[in-house]
Amino acid sequence: MLANALSASIVGVDGVPVRVEVDVSFGLPGLTIVGLAGSAVLEARERVRAALRNSGFEVPARRITVNLAPADLPKEGTGHDLAMAAAILVASGQLDADLGRVTLIGELALDGTLRPIPGAMALVAAARSTGIVEAIVPMENGPESAAVGGVDVRPAACFSQVVRHLAGLAVLERLAPGATSTGAPARDDTPDLASVIGQNVGRRALEIAIAGRHNLAFVGPPGVGKTLLARAGAGLLPPLEEDEAAEVSRIHSVAGVSDPRAPISPWPPFRAPHHTISMQALVGGGPRVRPGEASLAHRGVLFLDETLQFRTDALDALRGPIDAGTVLIARVDGILALPARFMLLAAFNPCPCGWFGVERRDCRCEDGARRRYQARLSGPMRDRLDLVIPLEPSVRWFARGDAEATAIVAARIAAATDAQRSRQGRSNAELAPGDLSSEHGFGAPLHDLLELRGRQMGLSLRRLHRAARVARTIADLAGSSHVAREHLDEALQHRPKELAA
Ligand SMILES: Nc1ncnc2c1ncn2[C@@H]1O[C@H](COP(=O)(O)OP(=O)(O)O)[C@@H](O)[C@H]1O
Ligand SMILES: [Mg+2]
């Protein structure tokens, strides 16, 4: 007998509907899975067999063939177990149920317990796109699945519960969307700007960078507050729009890093991977394509503390995403694009000893060692920084008291973000060279000034474009619809200069 069940698979960060076809026929007893199944899918044979037996059902002593369609789509992961087990019951006459209207998602433990899987949000969204009205998912995946909306989500603890529901004997309860979402978790490890002493230029640059999503680097000796200031940036990010928040949450769900208590968080991600991270973990990819930190930072900040300690191949792999907002991964079956539009936040010492260029201090590094150290950030990567800010030890460590708090700066950033959204629907960092026109507040006088400054300072066109975008943000922070000379001149002060060797 033949039976079909519905499930879904992850491709990149998106869900794709999958039909699980099961045929039970006379022949040599055995369970065969076909349809471009990865190793985790093939291992479903053992899990499904044990789960069926331990849930009180029979594994038919027949020839069982499971086909996953579409057959040309590579399938990974363990999420098809539940659909396979249910279809086997129907095909072998142990269950009389219509499996055509429900998507079944989940991994089976040997005892029949349903185990959570990554990417439930994207999987349920894929089911919804094909008109499916009901999704049965593991308990732990309930809240994020329900957050998708438009599908009745019914979490289950084990296989026999699912069977009783499908047979119409005991209904699995429907989880109301947002029922368990407790709102946004506080960013409790984020320092408040009020605790940062001095570093006024650094604070200003951080405000500009976050407001327009420009790439920023802090350079300076150890212990001046580079890490502290950068981390305070997390508290300055304005909340995401609803569709952006859903997109970010889907990516985090696929990577298995979402917060189960708040599956859809309105806060932009602030990712701070350690410098020992591999290139694959940073940009994504691998035999099982997983979103890397670049994608996890989508619509937020990627903070690379001690930037020059990162592998140079990993750093260079960020060039593509910085330019295009996507990570491209080559696979046997084509090129996969993962979203990765982030703001880069870098912090590093200017040389191995850390004291190069600091007044009244001696740098002990040899010229060659210093040059090699600085070269770890390649020219093309340096070129993609918008603001590079030298930080020095404060002259008055103990004269605190009047530093602006995060809430005040965040309010200015939120207003500047609103201005960008209503003018152009995206951040200033995403303005194309052709957008630097009167429509966006760049008049003819400013174009003349750009020409002049370019000649005076010997800047490339790319540098000038970057400075113009930063100037647009400075104008937005000042509440100005036009970009004026003072805005451009401030932007040019913060531009990356050659770190003299
Ligand atoms: N400007 C500053 N304001 C307040 N605290 C600071 C400042 N600079 C350094 N500190 C303190 O010194 C410690 C080291 O700062 P950190 O940000 O890690 O320095 P860096 O990253 O530049 O090496 C932190 O615990 C922080 O509390
Ligand atoms: Mg540090």
Report pLDDT digits (tens) over 416-426: 999 999 999 99
Q: Ligand 1, residue 220: give the atom nearest the CA.
A: 22
Is the model's pLDDT at 397 over the cut of 70?
A: no
pLDDT of 501 strictly over 80: no
In the predicted structure, residue 62 carries a pLDDT above the cut 60 = yes
CA distance 428 to 419: 10
| pLDDT tens for each residue of 462-495 | 899 999 999 999 999 999 999 999 999 999 999 8
What lies within 8 Å, CB to CB, of 234 at 6+ separation is: 187, 190, 270, 301
Give the model's pLDDT for residue 390.
92
Ligand 1 centroid – CA 204 distance (Å): 17
Contacts 24+ apart (CB under 8 A), 243-248: 244/299, 246/147, 247/298, 247/299, 247/339, 248/298, 248/299, 248/300
330 pLDDT band, cuts 50/70/90, is confident
Residue 42: pLDDT band (50, 70, 90) is confident
Residue with tokens 């680097």: 217
Round to whole Å and give the CA distance between 343 and 236.
Answer: 13
Of 12-21, 149-158, 326-335, 340-349, the poorest mean pLDDT is in: 326-335
Question: Which one of 200, 218, 224 would you pick to mutate in the ligand 1 pocket, going by the greatest count of ligand atoms within 8 A of its CB?
Answer: 224
Q: What is the pLDDT of residue 435?
A: 92
Q: How far is the CA of 195 from the centre of ligand 1 (A)?
A: 10
Ligand nearest 398 Cα, by number? 1
If you measure from the C-alpha of residue 197 to the centroid of ligand 1, how many angstroms do you get, rounded to a whole number? 9
- Is pLDDT above 70 for 185? no
Question: Separation of 271 CA from ligand 2 center, angstroms?
Answer: 15
The pLDDT of residue 395 is 65
Residue 179 clears pLDDT 70, i.e. is over it: no
pLDDT band with cut points at 50, 70 and 90 for residue 359: confident
Q: Where does the pLDDT of residue 49 fall: very low under 50, low under 70, confident under 90, or very high at 90 and above?
A: very high
pLDDT the model gives residue 38:
85
Grouping H, G, I as helix, E, B as strand and the rest as coil, residue 50 is: helix
Parallel, antiparallel or unpaired: strands 152-156 and 334-339:
unpaired
Mean pLDDT over 14-31 rounds to 93
What mean pLDDT comes out for the span 285-308? Answer: 92
For the chain, percent of residues with pLDDT exceeding 70: 95
Report residue 500's pLDDT band, with 50, 70 and 90 as the boundaries: very low
Nearest CA to ligand 1 atom 14: 223
Q: What beta strand segments (E) does 163-249 contain?
A: 216-219
Strands 334-339 and 326-331: antiparallel
Q: What is the pLDDT of residue 356?
A: 85
Query: Would you say residue 205 has pLDDT above 90?
Result: yes
**75 alpha carbon to ligand 1 midpoint, in Å?**
47
Angle at 271 between CA 270 and CA 273, to 5 degrees: 155
- Answer yes or no: is pLDDT of 387 > 60: yes
How far is the C-alpha of 123 from the C-alpha of 82, rounded, in Å? 14
pLDDT of residue 306: 95
The predicted structure's pLDDT at residue 364? 86
Mean pLDDT on 188-197: 88
The pLDDT confidence band at residue 258, using thresholds 50, 70 and 90, is: confident
Of residues 382 and 156, more confidently modeled: 156
Whether the predicted pLDDT of 180 surpasses 50: no
8 A C-beta contact, residue 230 and residue 88: no
| Res 246 pLDDT > 80 | yes
What's the pTM value of the predicted model, to 2 decimals?
0.90
pLDDT at 398 over 70: no
Please give all residues whose beta carbon lies within 6 A of any atom in ligand 1, as ranges: 195-199, 220, 222-228, 394
* pLDDT classification of 183: cutoffs 50, 70, 90: low
Asked if the model's pLDDT at residue 181 lies above 50, the reply is: no
